[in-house]
């Protein structure tokens, strides 16, 4: 029998267009392995919502593999040590994996390559990070020229088919039981809303793509309307690799609509974020721009009022309906509409003057699509601290944004205390004198918050 081939799974939980699976299946019997290592990522170990999704995604993939007389070997602990042990048990089996770019995975890939026969492949992005460079061969810092250069290099590679045959090894290495990892919440079980909102797995990802393809033409406009939700909701499927961006691109490339042009750039933004963390690995935890120090932000660890404001933001009780609807949608479903993400992030940073990293950590724990690169790039864009970012002095007005983007039905869905209010009152019940008693007053007025943020920024710039 040919030598067994290990497939090291991470955020690539699919069979089709999975280059590591494709190569391993051609070489010999396949041993798919997923390793849960909470130590290596440190503060970016899987958050609660991601763990829920991971459980169901692994379960779904294992069911598909069973049809091929295969299975996933589950191990917990240091990934390098575990893969070395499995490789040795299988007689020095080579390891195949899709290349990952988070700093802890890059470190693990380097260490593993010195110990076993490691084969790395591209597969999580339209183009491999590092492939799109300036004329002088350096990495792009700004998204717009990166996007233009990426478009010049498209189309991406062709989609790989799923292996027709996945041969099993003569004997299987020992495996943990998925339920024993306790990825699902129990005491209490807060995941009922996630279960109602999502279907998980490779087949579910393709169903979602097929359903949403009919709405692609209107994406450019509809993506900004929370009440209509014209977004693709493919982000968690892409994050966990249940579908690849190359598959999505090829499925939609025939469209000639403005919606496709806009969505294609969203896929490219995802590539851009991966390129940013390749160049700056600590980007999601450290300001890129100098000068944005602790003197700008209110510290919830030292300031009781700031701590109360942070809690109100997390719970969706700020007194700003569009912000509160978004934060409650996040808690209920593990996801938030993209327009509302920008509003909620700006509100935390500029209205409440709280460091963006508190928001990044909260999103990391509560989003099913929590992505190291994308989260970091998006939060630093909102804060004005990033390599390519919105200026700090550009402060979103959440109340006018709510009315402009017709968020009334969205607010009624997620803030039931306001469900009885008509427009325009529902967007700012305090200003119209119709705030229900059950709904909190504003933590701070918009004008007061804006003036405070600008004053803090100017004071920071003087030093």
Q: Does residue 25 form part of some domain?
A: yes
Q: What is the pLDDT of residue 424?
A: 96
Q: Does residue 354 form part of some domain?
A: yes
Same domain, 272 and 328: no
Same domain, 342 and 445: yes
Same domain, 260 and 395: no
**Could you say which of 226, 245, 279 is where a domain stops?**
279
Same domain, 118 and 150: no
Q: What total number of domains does the chain contain?
A: 3
Q: Does residue 141 form part of some domain?
A: yes
Q: What is the CATH number of the domain that holds 66?
A: 3.40.50.620
How far, in whole angstroms, is CA 233 from its chain's centroid? 11
Q: Does residue 296 form part of some domain?
A: no
pLDDT tens digits, residue range 111-161? 999 999 999 999 999 999 999 999 999 999 999 999 999 999 999 999 999
Q: Does residue 288 form part of some domain?
A: no
Same domain, 119 and 265: no
**Could you say which of 99, 124, 149 is where a domain stops?**
124
**Could you say which of 107, 124, 141 is where a domain stops?**
124
**Measured between alpha carbons, how far is 347 from 431 in angstroms, rounded to an integer?**
18
Same domain, 245 and 108: no
Q: What is the CATH number of the domain that holds 265?
A: 1.25.40.80
Write the DSSP assignment of 360-425 as a string of letters.
HHHHHHH-TT--HHHHHHHHHHHHT-SSS---TT----HHHHHHHTT-HHHHHHH-GGGTTPPTTG
Same domain, 32 and 115: yes
Q: What is the DSSP letter of 350?
A: I
Query: Residue 185's closest CA among 49, 296, 344, 317?
Result: 49
Query: Residue 121's closest CA among 265, 246, 266, 270?
Result: 246
Q: What are phi and psi of 76, to 5 degrees?
A: -120, 140
The helix or strand, by DSSP H or E, that contains position 79, with its residue range, turns out to be helix 79-89
Same domain, 337 and 455: yes
pLDDT tens digits, residue range 306-364? 999 999 999 999 999 999 999 999 999 999 999 999 999 999 999 999 999 999 999 99
Q: What is the span of the domain harbouring residue 247?
A: 125-158+202-279
Same domain, 111 and 130: no
Same domain, 324 and 426: yes
Q: Does residue 357 form part of some domain?
A: yes
Q: What is the CATH number of the domain that holds 340?
A: 1.10.579.10
pLDDT tens digits, residue range 26-67? 999 999 999 999 999 999 999 999 999 999 999 999 999 999
**Measured between alpha carbons, how far is 414 from 329 in angstroms, rounded to an integer?**
6
Same domain, 319 and 431: yes
Strand partners, 84: none
Q: Does residue 110 form part of some domain?
A: yes
Tell me the pTM. 0.96
Q: Does residue 253 form part of some domain?
A: yes
Q: What is the 3-state secondary structure (H, E, C) of 129-163?
A: CCCCECCCCCECCCHHHHHHHHHHHCCCCCCCCCC
293 has pLDDT over 90: no
Strand order, beta sheet including 30-36: 73-76, 30-36, 5-9, 95-98, 118-121
Same domain, 106 and 250: no
115: Cβ contacts below 8 Å, ≥ 6 apart: 80, 84
Token pair 């998980």 is found at 200
């Amino acid at each position: 029998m040919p030598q067994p081939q290990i497939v090291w799974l991470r955020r690539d939980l699919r069979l089709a267009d999975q280059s590591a699976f494709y190569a391993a299946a051609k070489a010999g019997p396949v041993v798919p392995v997923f390793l849960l290592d909470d130590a290596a990522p440190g503060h970016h170990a899987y958050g609660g919502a991601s763990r829920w999704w991971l459980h169901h995604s692994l379960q779904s993939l294992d069911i598909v593999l069973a049809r091929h007389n295969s299975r996933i070997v589950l191990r917990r602990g240091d990934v390098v040590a575990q893969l070395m042990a499995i490789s040795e048990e299988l007689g020095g089996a080579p390891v195949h994996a899709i290349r990952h770019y988070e700093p802890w995975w890059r470190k693990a890939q380097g260490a593993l390559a010195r110990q076993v026969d490691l084969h790395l492949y591209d597969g999580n992005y339209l183009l491999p990070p590092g492939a799109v460079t300036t004329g002088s061969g350096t990495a792009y810092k700004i998204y717009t020229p990166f996007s233009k250069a990426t478009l010049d290099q498209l189309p991406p590679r062709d989609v790989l088919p799923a292996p027709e045959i996945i041969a099993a090894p003569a004997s299987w290495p020992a495996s943990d039981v998925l339920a024993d990892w306790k990825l699902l919440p129990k005491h209490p079980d807060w995941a009922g809303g996630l279960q109602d909102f999502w279907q998980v797995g490779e087949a579910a990802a393709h169903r979602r793509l097929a359903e949403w393809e009919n709405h692609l033409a209107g994406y450019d406009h509809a993506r900004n309307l929370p009440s209509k939700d014209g977004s693709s909701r493919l982000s968690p499927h892409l994050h966990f690799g249940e579908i690849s961006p190359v598959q999505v691109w090829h499925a939609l490339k025939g469209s000639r609509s403005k919606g496709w042009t806009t969505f294609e750039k969203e896929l490219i933004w995802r590539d851009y974020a991966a390129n940013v963390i390749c160049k700056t690995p600590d980007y999601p935890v450290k300001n890129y721009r100098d000068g944005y120090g602790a003197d700008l932000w209110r510290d919830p660890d030292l300031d009781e009022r700031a701590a109360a404001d942070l809690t109100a933001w997390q719970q969706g009780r700020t007194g700003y309906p569009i912000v509160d609807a978004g934060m409650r949608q996040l808690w209920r479903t593990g996801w938030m509409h993209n327009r509302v993400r920008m509003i909620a992030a700006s509100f935390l940073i500029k209205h409440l003057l709280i460091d963006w990293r508190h928001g990044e950590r909260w999103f990391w724990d509560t989003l099913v699509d929590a992505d190291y690169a994308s989260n970091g790039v998006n939060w630093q864009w909102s804060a004005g601290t990033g390599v390519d970012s919105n200026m700090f002095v550009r402060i979103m007005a959440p109340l006018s944004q709510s009315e402009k983007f017709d968020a009334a039905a969205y607010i009624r869905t997620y803030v039931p205390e306001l469900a009885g209010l008509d427009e325009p009152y529902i967007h700012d019940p305090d200003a119209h004198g119709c705030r229900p008693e059950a709904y909190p007053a504003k933590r701070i007025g918009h004008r007061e918050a804006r003036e405070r943020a600008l004053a803090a920024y100017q004071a920071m710039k003087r030093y």
